[in-house]
Amino acid sequence: MQKEYSTIGKNVPFVDAREKVTGRAKYLDDLSFPGMLYGKILRSPYPHARIVNVDPGRALSLPGVKAVITAADCPATRFGLEIPDVSILAGDKVRYVGDEVAAVSAVSEEIAEEALSLIKVEYAPLPSVDDLEAALAPGAPLVHDDKPGNIGKAYKIERGDVDADFAGCDYVFEEEFATSRVLPCYLEPFGVIASWENDGWLTIWTGIQAAFHARFELARALNMQPSDISVKVPYIGGGFGGKIWIRNFHPIAALLAKKTGRPVKIVLSREEEFLASRPRVAARIKVKLGLMRDGTLVCKEMKITADNGAYSWAAPKILLNMAMRTDCLYRFRSTRTEAVLVYTNKTPTSGFRGYGNAQSHFALESMVDLCARKLGLDPVEVRLKNAVRRGDTTLHGWKIRSCGLGECIEKVSAAIQLNRLPKEKQGGKIRRGVGVACVTHVSGNRAGNNFDGSCALVRFQEDGKLLVYSGESDMGQGARTVFAQIAAEILGIPLESVKVMPLDTDISPFGYGTYSSRVTTVGGKAVLLAAQQVREQLLTLAGKILNEDPSGLDVKDGQIFVRLDPGRHIPVAEVCRAGIRTREAAALTAYVSYDPPTEGADGNFYGDYSSAYNYGAHAVEVEVDTETGQVRVLRVAAAHDVGYPINPNGVRGQIYGGVTQGVGWALYENLVYKGGVLQNPSLSSYILLTIKDMPEVEPFIVKTNDPVGPYGAKGVGEPALIPTPPAIANALEDALGVRFYDLPITPEKVFLALYARPEEAEK
């Protein structure tokens, strides 16, 4: 029944690849405007201090400086997401090293930078809370005076009778895991250009993942109406979740531009990216797992303590994901999670590929493996035995319409066994092992009664070329290509005839943006539906011209033809010309607002809130030098149920990238703080892996043809990272017989674990 597609499922090169590799694609910092000024931000050197006085003093008299702003120049409103606790510039006190205190605009970056050093800020340092323990200690200093106990948010979610189920289990195990702060480290530093029009409208250029949310949040920060702001999105050099939400520098640039009457550009330096962009929410996760002798997973309890940092941004939602999603990976009978979000005097945390789900997968997928081994069972068999299947409704009400979890596990566990290296070399000095871990994630995420769809505008031009407009960003993952493929397929025109337009909130239809691995699934579906409507218009008009019933027509390779008499045909371009340039006045345009048939979670977070649920499994082989503790990941087999791959190479690209960041999180990357001060704010000391550290990656695409997504497609962006860290920890136990509970698993940690009394290693 599967039809032969012309472009869907094909490895077409990304439509913008040539523009990018030839350096012609314009990113934010490539843009400039007449009279544009450069903004720089003065940041707190203290993790916690009262601001006694800010004196712009001599900064204003430095030639070339056009404006200096402090908290006194900002609207007093607090903004942010669920918990509005952010001020544009700090007024009463600073809460982390990097907190924004004042800002300058000048005719050059150098002068702006010099001006910062002339601003005199008097601080009265306060005792700070640098980690979860300190923040939760009785009588701890408060990060926000109105947040007693430094608690930002707390959840308790319970399904079924957990206590009774634990009592009935053959085995109950409990362990605590911890994940670390890591940074998305996208290639292009985040930035903005702000410019005011004469009529009081504000235009913002910024490479952001969620343009319409940005407009809304910016309006809130500046006390404006969203429609008075236009957000225009140039090419984005990676985001990984770190560019979903606005930062303080967005309204800061707007205020500097207003004060000077000139456009203002702010681009973060790499050091500022380290100090003040948003790391992954680090968490301590206690997992209690109840099992039967045969490996049946019965019930689970988690206690999560998560590090919010100084301001809350997306962390409350991330905490919720952390608390819930892993409950839907296996067929648990009951689960209970208590989760708290804790303020600390560190950089605010927020979204990063996995959005909370990755943290709890590290805990659960480590735990399942560990328990299986304790029971003498094969961890792979235990996973297969308990995996959710199509047709299941999970404890949280997810209706599983397509599910390739079992197939993913089988594929990678078989692949990793092929061509394995011996378990030992050099008399056991080198040891090797394999491990598997799984993932379940979402393709969209409806909160309550909110919209969770996407809108698309599809429009033919008079020469048969097609314009596609969407509100979803392409941050490099390939949305433009996927949208173009879908439109080209439906309309039977060559891919080259489709242009996916840049995102501009004044022109593009409403969209939530690129997160929740939702863009192909919901954004693609909106494009598909709009293209179908345009196709009907096109064939109706062609029928009129050819004097044929439109239902007997088809379109392929840019030609509309009579299905039963293919010799009779007319080019799409000619029909478009007739429709647009003659008295036909045909629209050949469709605007679709698509909302997936999901329920949205209720007040107790129960509900089928995603269009599709995606699955995956990774298997890794590791090699450990037991003398030095060095770990090398040799191979990663990574299978992902993506429903149907619109562009298989795009899917593989996501898998390679996800694995890379997963290996980095597990073994290399870590933001190291001392007394609340980041110790490695640079790419030389924050260890991203290089090509010389990369394992061999073998991607597998599992097709399950989701009934809702476009052509059966589901998301893969975030899931591609999630199983790698637990799979590595599991492989390490296989190699060494030692379990690692905390990320990152550094060589020194491995060394210390192998030598109970390290001084012995020296003799």
Partner 1 sequence: MSVQHYVFPETIAECLQEMNRFHGQGRLIAGGTDLMIWLRKKKVAPVALIDVTRIAELNQLEIKDGNLLIGAAVTHAQVAAHAGMRALLHVLAEACNSVGSPQIRNIATVVGNVVSAQPAGDAAVALVALNARARIVSAEGSRVEPVEELYAGVGRSKIDSTRELVTLVEVLLPGPGSGSAFLRIAPRNALALPVVNVAAVVTVADGKISAARLAAGPMGEKPFRPRRAEEFLVGTDVREQTAWEEAGALAAREANPRDSLLRGSSLYRKHLLQVLTRRALQSAVARALERQE
Q: Binding residues for partner 1, per CB under 8 A?
A: 627-630, 668, 672, 674, 679-680, 684-685, 687-693, 747-748, 751-752, 758-759, 761-763
- Other beta carbons within 10 Å of 138: 5
Tokens of 228: 């008075």
CA 117 to centroid of chain Cα atoms = 36
CA pair distance 301, 692, nearest whole angstrom: 40
User: For 449-496, what is the HEC assignment?
Assistant: CCCCCEEEEEEECCCCCEEEEECCCCCCCCHHHHHHHHHHHHHCCCHH
Q: Which is nearer to partner 1, 3 or 692 (CB)?
A: 692
Q: Which residues contact 202 (CB under 8 A, 6 or more apart)?
A: 194, 195, 196, 218, 222, 224, 228, 229, 230, 254
Closest CB to partner 1 among residues 435, 629: 629
User: Which of 261, 758 has the CB closer to partner 1?
Assistant: 758
Least Å from the CB of residue 24 to partner 1: 24
Residue closer to partner 1 (CB basis): 583 or 674: 674
CB of 763 to partner 1, least distance (A): 7
**Strands, sheet with 49-55, edge to edge from the N-terminal-most edge strand:** 93-94, 49-55, 120-125
Of 559 and 680, the one with the shorter C-beta distance to partner 1 is 680
CA angle 100, 105, 106 (to 5 degrees): 140
**CB of 382 or CB of 732, closer to partner 1:** 732
Whole-number Å distance between alpha carbons of 606 and 600: 8
Q: Tokens at residue 512, please?
A: 């939530």
Shortest Å, Cβ 270 to partner 1 = 12
CB of 759 to partner 1, least distance (A): 7
Residue 266 · residue 191 · CB < 8 Å: yes
Q: Determine the Cα–Cα distance for residues 550 and 201; give it in Å rounded to an integer.
A: 46
Compute the CA torsion angle 260, 263, 269, 275 (nearest 10 deg): 60
Residue 590 contacts residue 530 (beta carbons within 8 Å) = yes
**CB-based contact 266:165 (threshold 8 Å):** no
Nearest partner of 178 among 274, 291, 307, judged by Cα:
307
C-beta closer to partner 1: residue 43 or 232: 43
**Strand, helix or coil at 166?**
helix
Q: Which residue has the tokens 């070329």?
A: 465
Work out how close the CB of 243 gets to partner 1 at its nearest, in angstroms, rounded to a whole number.
Answer: 25
Q: Is the CB of 124 or the CB of 683 nearer to partner 1?
A: 683
Q: Which is nearer to partner 1, 393 or 628 (by Cβ)?
A: 628
Indicate the residue among 227 and 426 with the shorter CB distance to partner 1: 426
In whole angstroms, the minimum distance from the beta carbon of 224 to partner 1 comes to 38
Tell me if 252 sits within 8 A of 79, measured CB to CB: no
Nearest to 384 by CA among 555, 569, 615: 615
Bridging pattern class, strands 229-233 and 282-291: unpaired
Q: How far is the CB of 628 from partner 1 (least distance, A)?
A: 6
Q: Work out how close the CB of 427 gets to partner 1 at its nearest, in angstroms, rounded to a whole number.
A: 13
Minimal distance, residue 273 CB to partner 1, in Å: 16
> What residue type is assigned to position 6 of the chain?
S
Which CB atom, from 509 or from 662, has the smaller least distance to partner 1?
Answer: 662
| Minimum distance of partner 1 from residue 679's CB (angstroms) | 6
User: 593, 456 in Cβ contact below 8 A?
Assistant: no
The least CB distance from residue 683 to partner 1, in Å, is 8
From the list 136, 74, 113, 143, the residue with the least C-alpha distance to 347 is 143
Nearer to partner 1, 142 or 688 (CB): 688
Least Å from the CB of residue 684 to partner 1: 7
Nearer to partner 1, 431 or 640 (CB): 431
The one-letter amino acid at 744: P
For the CB of residue 471, give the shortest distance to partner 1 in the complex, in Å: 39
Strand 100-106 relative to strand 37-43, pairing: antiparallel
Nearest distance, CB of residue 269 and partner 1, angstroms: 10
Angle CA 163–166–172, to nearest 5: 140
The SS3 assignment for 165 reads helix
User: Would you say 484 or 663 has its CB closer to partner 1?
Assistant: 663
